Amino acid sequence: MATVPALQEPPAVVADAPAAQPKKGFRKYWHLYVAISPFYLLFLCFGLIPVGFSLYLSFHRWDGLGSMEWAGLSQYQYLLSDSDFWASIGNTLIIWALATFPMIFLAMLTAVMLNSAVRFKNVYRFAYFLPNVTSVVAIAIIFGSVFSTNFGLVNALLQAVGIDQVAWLNTPWGIKVAIATLMTWQWTGYNAIIFLAGLQTIPSELYEAARVDGAGPVQTFFRVTLPLLRPTLLFVLVVSTVTGLQSFTEAQVLLQNTSNDSTFSGGPDHAGRTMVLYFFQQTFDNNDFGYGAAVAWGIFLVVVLFSIINWRLVKRRGEE
Amino acid sequence: MASIKGSRRRGVALHAVLVIGLLLSAFPFYWAVIMSTHTSSEIFSYPPKLLPGSHFLQNVRSLFDNIGFFGSMFNSLLVAVSVTFLVLFFDSLAAFVFAKFEFPGRGLLFALLMAIFMVPTQLAIIPQFVIMAKIGWIGSMTALIVPAAANAFGIFWMRQYMRSAIHDELLDASKLDGANFLRQYWHVALPVVRPGLAFLGIFTFMGQWNDYAWPLIALTNPDNVTLQVALSQLNGVHGTTDYGMVMTGALLALIPLLIVFAVGAKQIIADLGKGAIR
């Protein structure tokens, strides 16, 4: 708890600075500035300065110990031609798509069913939300055993119906399917609860009007529910994109013991090496801080790009 | 009569599908329980075990022999509890200011807060590591606690809550009684927004308890780590692994989290939905 005094000290500095100025406003409001200052000071020290420093770093070569060496744009030039980085983008997008589309479908289905089931609603919501609060590390360990080649449950089921075993964590597609299944399991219930909240804002008169007009349940869903659920869908899609494209823990824990030299390797043939895993490998295994910073900016651009694409896709469909 | 029968049949079908979903949600937990109660050779045998075995205590013992379980759990609790209290204090104080007071630069500072929401964590990790190595925080829990002590999400969330929950008349009345700013915060604002604080507190605690990427990098001493990192070390040994033991660790690490979730589930599920459609 030695951190508390350290945190309370900086605000005093801010309080002095405005008070020293002749402006009456600051003297009158100084206590308000002090009250909001902790967040801004923390952000300055652990957000703004680091982000600026990482931009500076991406124009240099640095192993974290010796002296920095000016590198100009060469880190970025290398990034563009780095097939490992492009492969990691591909891995990330495939895993994201394999996880997100089933997840959104299942979440919406669950939400629609929960919205009409009156009894036990709270029991269902509690159970469906549980996967999301459990730690990814524990879940990845558990899923590692479910997908294990030798004793995994999935292979036991396959064997029971007479299908050959699959080396899930040893083949490129098996790895991606295992990671995506984990993500789908962890996020379906969470998003179902978000969709349910969206569904509950739709006035029941609209459903009644649809029924009077003779619309069946399927027609009602596509004509009434889905259009009105679009803002919620947009929220879910953007959040899934931002978190999904930055996935790290799932693949790291699931595949960390498949290689002797790096815990960030992403499994055989690096098939599960996501963008963020590649960033950690370059930075903390190769001690290439300059290139690591360039990779981080590359990831940032990819995430921003795909968030915009998602946003526009969902929005345009809404305008038609 | 026919339509009542039909709707009842539909209701049964609906619940059947929902129960299947429920079982899928719960199954990995059950699977972890099964594995944590068997020896490795039992786990490796075919057909797979589907009922709990009798080796749980044996697995617990080898878990405690292999990692400093209670030390790691203490570290996790230290970090999660400290961060939760710091976040509750700093975020609610800032939120109170943004929700109820006018001052020069308020709009600009709040817009900045919203922009900060968007800054991705990867970009800051390397410099954060370098800075903390310079000031000697790397390897200690301070490296996890201090940067997390206040956040944009919590301030935004509490501000939304306080704007409607705290009535201006109440603040005016307390001012007439001679209450200063801190008294207003402590005696007028906080008691009214307890449900909002509960959500933020549970949310923060769970997030910190589960945090992994930054602790993995920042905690450079393998004997002094949080529970998630310790679990990962246990799982990460190349070659053969004692799965019963690893699974026991994963299961035990979930218990504090499940307790916190069980206490606050109703609140957190209700508020999560509200936040998304706002």
- Per-residue tens of pLDDT for chain A, all 320 residues: 333 333 333 443 444 444 444 456 677 888 899 999 999 999 888 888 999 999 999 999 998 888 888 988 999 999 999 999 999 999 999 999 999 999 999 999 999 998 887 788 888 888 898 999 889 999 999 998 889 887 788 888 888 888 888 888 889 999 999 999 999 999 999 999 999 988 988 888 888 888 888 888 888 888 888 888 888 898 898 889 988 999 999 999 999 887 777 889 888 889 999 999 999 999 999 999 999 999 999 999 999 898 888 878 877 655 54
The complex's ipTM works out to 0.87
**Domain count of chain A?**
2
Paired tokens of B33: 């329980």
List beta partners, residue A2.
none
Please choose, from the candidates A10, A4, A6, the residue with its C-alpha nearest in 3D space to the C-alpha of residue A37. A10
Please choose, from the candidates A16, A43, A40, A42, the residue with its C-alpha nearest in 3D space to the C-alpha of residue A30. A16
Q: Within an 8 Å CB–CB cutoff, is residue B14 touching chain A?
A: yes
**What is the reported pLDDT for A81?**
95
Contact call for A120 and B15, based on CB within 8 A = yes
The residue of chain A with its CA nearest to that of B215 is A249
| Nearest neighbour of B127 by CB, restricted to A50, A151, A231 | A50
Paired tokens of B160: 């939304």
Rounded to a whole number of angstroms, the distance from the CA of B198 to the nearest CA of chain A is 16
Please choose, from the candidates A253, A276, A238, the residue with its C-alpha nearest in 3D space to the C-alpha of residue A89. A276
**What is the reported pLDDT for A175?**
94
Is the pLDDT at B224 greater than 70? The verdict is yes
pLDDT, mean of residues B164-177: 89
Is the pLDDT at B41 greater than 90? The verdict is no
**What is the reported pLDDT for A18?**
46
**What is the reported pLDDT for B6?**
67
The residues near A196 (Cβ < 8 Å, ≥ 6 apart) are: A111, A114, A115, A125, B273
| In chain B, residues 18-37 whose CB comes closer than 8 Å to chain A | 18, 21-22, 24-26, 28-29, 31-32, 35
Q: Are residues A223 and A149 in the same domain?
A: yes
DSSP class of residue A166 equals -
Q: Are residues A48 and A87 in the same domain?
A: no
Per CB-CB distance under 8 Å, the chain B contacts of A292 are 126
> How many whole angstroms separate alpha carbon B133 and alpha carbon A133?
31
Specify if A71 maps to a domain: no
Q: Are residues A47 and A171 in the same domain?
A: no
Q: Are residues A94 and A49 in the same domain?
A: no
Q: Within an 8 Å CB–CB cutoff, is residue A150 touching chain B?
A: yes
Domain boundary among A21, A42, A57: A57
pLDDT, mean of residues B220-229: 92
Helices A83-116 and A172-199 pack at an angle, to 10 degrees, of 40
Q: Within an 8 Å CB–CB cutoff, is residue B243 touching chain A?
A: yes
Please choose, from the candidates A52, A100, A50, the residue with its C-alpha nearest in 3D space to the C-alpha of residue A239. A100
Q: Is there a contact between B126 and A289 (Cβ–Cβ < 8 Å)?
A: yes
Paired tokens of A229: 């659920």
Contact call for B212 and A279, based on CB within 8 A = no
**Cis peptide before B47, with omega less than 30 degrees from 0?**
yes
Specify if A75 maps to a domain: no
Which sign does the torsion angle of CA A56, A58, A64, A67 carry? negative
pLDDT, mean of residues B26-53: 85
Q: Are residues A245 and A293 in the same domain?
A: yes
Per CB-CB distance under 8 Å, the chain A contacts of B147 are 42, 45-46
**What is the reported pLDDT for B258?**
86
| Nearest neighbour of B276 by CB, restricted to A194, A296, A299 | A194
Specify if A73 maps to a domain: no
**What is the reported pLDDT for B267?**
74
Specify if A67 maps to a domain: no
A140 burial via Cβ count (<10 Å: 0-12, 13-18, 19+)? buried
Q: Are residues A190 and A289 in the same domain?
A: yes
Q: Are residues A108 and A31 in the same domain?
A: no
Q: Are residues A126 and A245 in the same domain?
A: yes
| In chain B, residues 110-149 whose CB comes closer than 8 Å to chain A | 112-113, 116, 119-128, 130-131, 142, 145-147, 149
**What is the reported pLDDT for B112?**
87
Question: What residue numbers bound the domain in which A10 lies?
Answer: 3-57
| Nearest neighbour of A51 by CB, restricted to B119, B247, B265 | B119
pTM (2 d.p.)? 0.87
Q: Are residues A29 and A159 in the same domain?
A: no
**What is the reported pLDDT for B4?**
62
Give Dmax over CA atoms of chain A in angstroms. 84
Q: Which long-range contacts (CB under 8 A, 24 or more apart) does B50-59 make?
A: B55/B244, B56/B248, B59/B242, B59/B244, B59/B245, B59/B247, B59/B248
Give Dmax over CA atoms of chain B in angstroms. 78
The SS3 call for residue B223 is: coil
CATH number of B67-236: 1.10.3720.10
Rg (C-alpha) for chain B, rounded Å, is 24
Is the pLDDT at B236 greater than 80? The verdict is no
Q: Is there a contact between A273 and A266 (Cβ–Cβ < 8 Å)?
A: yes
Q: Where are chain B's structural domains?
A: 67-236
**What is the reported pLDDT for A5?**
38
List beta partners, residue A176.
none
Q: Within an 8 Å CB–CB cutoff, is residue A12 touching chain B?
A: no
Compute φ and ψ for A148, nearest 5 degrees: -60, 140
Please choose, from the candidates B38, B74, B43, B179, the residue with its C-alpha nearest in 3D space to the C-alpha of residue A148. B43
| In chain B, residues 168-207 whose CB comes closer than 8 Å to chain A | 181, 185, 206
The residue of chain B with its CA nearest to that of A152 is B48
Q: Which region among A88-102, A125-139, B1-15, B134-148 has the lowest average model confidence (pLDDT)?
A: B1-15
| Nearest neighbour of A146 by CB, restricted to B31, B104, B232 | B31
Per CB-CB distance under 8 Å, the chain A contacts of B217 are 280, 284
The residues near B232 (Cβ < 8 Å, ≥ 6 apart) are: A137, A252, A253, A256, B212, B216
Bigger pLDDT: B6 or B217? Answer: B217
At residue A69, what is the residue type?
Answer: E
Q: Which helix (H) or strand (E) holds A2?
A: none
Rounded to a whole number of angstroms, the distance from the CA of B66 to the nearest CA of chain A is 17
At residue B183, what is the residue type?
Answer: R
| Nearest neighbour of A283 by CB, restricted to B94, B126, B239 | B126
Rounded to a whole number of angstroms, the distance from the CA of A320 to the nearest CA of chain B is 23
Please choose, from the candidates A254, A298, A292, the residue with its C-alpha nearest in 3D space to the C-alpha of residue A273. A254
Q: Are residues A48 and A171 in the same domain?
A: no
DSSP class of residue B224 equals S
Q: What is the DSSP string of B21-57?
A: HHHHHHHHHHHHHHHHTS-HHHHHSSSPP-S--S-HH
Q: Is there a contact between B130 and A45 (Cβ–Cβ < 8 Å)?
A: no
Contact call for A151 and B119, based on CB within 8 A = no
Q: Are residues A310 and A241 in the same domain?
A: yes
pLDDT, mean of residues B90-95: 96
Q: Are residues A96 and A46 in the same domain?
A: no
Contact call for A138 and B246, based on CB within 8 A = no
Please choose, from the candidates B50, B56, B51, B63, the residue with its C-alpha nearest in 3D space to the C-alpha of residue B37. B56
Size of interface A-B (CB pairs under 8 A): 267
| In chain A, residues 155-214 whose CB comes closer than 8 Å to chain B | 156, 159-160, 185, 189-190, 193-194, 196-198, 200-201
pLDDT, mean of residues B17-25: 91
Helices A289-319 and A74-81 pack at an angle, to 10 degrees, of 60
> Which of B17, B97, B122 to substitute to test the interface with A, most A CBs within 10 Å?
B122
Q: Within an 8 Å CB–CB cutoff, is residue B96 touching chain A?
A: yes
| Nearest neighbour of A47 by CB, restricted to B35, B124, B274 | B124
